[in-house]
Structure 1
Amino acid sequence: MNYPMRSFRLYMSHRTYAIYVAPVMFLAVLALTVIAGLITGMVTGLPLPPEAATTFSGMGMLVSVLIGFFISSSALAVNRTFATVLAFGGTRRDFWMGSAMGFGVTALIAAVFATALLGIEELTNGWFIGVPVFGTPLLGNGDYLITFVAVLAYSLAALFTGAAFGTIFRAFGATAVTMAIIGAVLIVAGIVAVLVWQREFTIQAAIDLGHWLPSVLAAAFALVCLLVSYVTNKKATV
């Protein structure tokens, strides 16, 4: 077995983080959303009328819960397994390739599970009470392909963000991580400022891309973080 695959298997051996987290967190947010819908239904009646159901569109932000955990788990992953891979004869490149494949599998699991839950949501007319959890604007308003791609892109962006910060910590220490976070915030703020300044272009791009826009932005961000983690990983020390 080559060393990248050994690194991949080492990552996947932590099944709680690599496999089970996304399904469990999706189901937890789903349960909380349905409970909130039932409480609202005590006033509006069930199934929820459209005007009440639209207030749950923000529940598409369930992805933010997953993103937060993915950032922390991938940052821990690159620090937890790095020394082990090198100790058994792997290179930094082997470690990064194996970890990247593992992140891809974790993101794929999240995307498949979210798309499957969207299907169940539509079959049950919003979990029998008219609550949209996965059929929200952030996830494509019920489009299966957009939902799959969106969750995949969001997950990869989060995982490689954590990997980037984790490798920066491994290579340069805690102070460098703090500076990187500040720098990332300033860069994002600068990009937002440019988009507002060129608002005609921004509005037209949003119109052209429609529900694909968040996925495109997340994929671009994931690519940047992937490159940062790859370059920084070469400087990491045991």
Structure 2
Amino acid sequence: MTAVTATAVGTTPRVRPNEIWRIVRLHVVNPSIFFIVPWTIIAGAWAVSMVLVLIISAAGGPTDEVTKGMQYSWAVLSPQWYLVVVGVQAIAFTFQFALGFGATRRDYWVGTVIMFLLVSAFNAVAIATLVILERATDHWWIGTAMFDALWYVDSDWLTAAYTTFAFQMFILTIGAAATTVYMRWRMAGMLTLGASALAILLGIVAILTFTESWIPLWEWFASVGLVGGFSILLVLSALCAVFGYAIIRRATPR
């Protein structure tokens, strides 16, 4: 009997594509979380930007100066803060349900990360395309700089897509990883995580200050460039994914 059981366990595949894909489909049962709400926020920010420029133009204000000023606006990043919540909801709303239907923790986490990859890729292509379209239309013909702003000003389509993808992956994975801590240790774990993160941050600030390393740090960031800086975010995203999997393996749905 032991031999039969051992054989059965040993032949169970570690990667189950059908189960992983089922987790991806589980996440899109409610598409508003990943797609509708974020793009509603973007549409609202775009509409506000358009109205503001139209009002200033109607009042005889300098449109060129308005366009340059709006390129420092964070409106293009308006849905990113919501995506932190998306990363949290992706775990909190589906983990128990998925396990109840026979998914393993490995299947669940891989499927969730694949969902994050798909969402980030979709948003990256869409944002990068809107950046180029905004430039091509002379900022929507009225001087509104909604997407052609911040680091996107000096980015071509590929750079805009890559940086958006890296940033969104980081936002989603850090939210999901933090949620696994809550799933494992509840509020005590979250308080410990928050205190640990704050202590590490203060320690880094202290080290950089006492060693007078702030200027060399900024020079190093300048040397790696825009793509290099966002590549660091991708590495951090991978670390968050590994951290989240390590925690969720022991998490108990309640």
Scaled by the length of structure 1, the TM-score of the pair is 0.87
Task: Please name the residue that 2:50 is paired with.
Answer: 34
Counting aligned pairs with the same residue, the percent is 22
Q: Which of 31, 36, 39 is the matching residue for 1:20?
A: 36
| Residue pairs, 1:1-238, within 5 angstroms | 2-43=18-59, 45=61, 48-49=63-64, 51-63=65-77, 65-191=78-204, 194=207, 197-212=212-227, 214-238=229-253
**Greater shift after overlay, 132-141 or 75-84?**
132-141
- CA distance in 2 between counterparts of 1:35 and 1:209 reads 38
Which consecutive segments of 4 or more residues in structure 1 shift more than 6 A? none
In structure 2, relative to structure 1, the CA distance for the partners of 1:224 and 1:192 (3 Å cut) is: farther
SS in 1 for 2:140: helix
Tell me, in whole angstroms, the C-alpha distance in 2 between the residues paired with 1:35 and 1:188: 40
Unaligned 5+ segments in structure 1 are: none
Gaps of at least 5 residues in structure 2 are 1-16
| Aligned amino acid, residue 101 of structure 2 | F
Distance 1:221 1:33, change over 3 A: farther
**Residue 170 of structure 1, CA deviation:** 0.6
Matched AA of 2:197 = A
Could you say which structure has the larger radius of gyration?
2
Q: Post-superposition shift, 1:81?
A: 1.0
Is the 2:71–2:153 Cα contact (8 Å) retained in structure 1?
A: no
Give the C-alpha shift of residue 229 in structure 1: 1.0
Q: 1:189 to 1:122 in 2, by over 3 A?
A: farther
Aligned residues: 235
1:182 to partner: Cα distance? 3.2
Inter-partner Cα distance in structure 2 for 1:155 and 1:143 = 18
TM-score by length of 2: 0.82
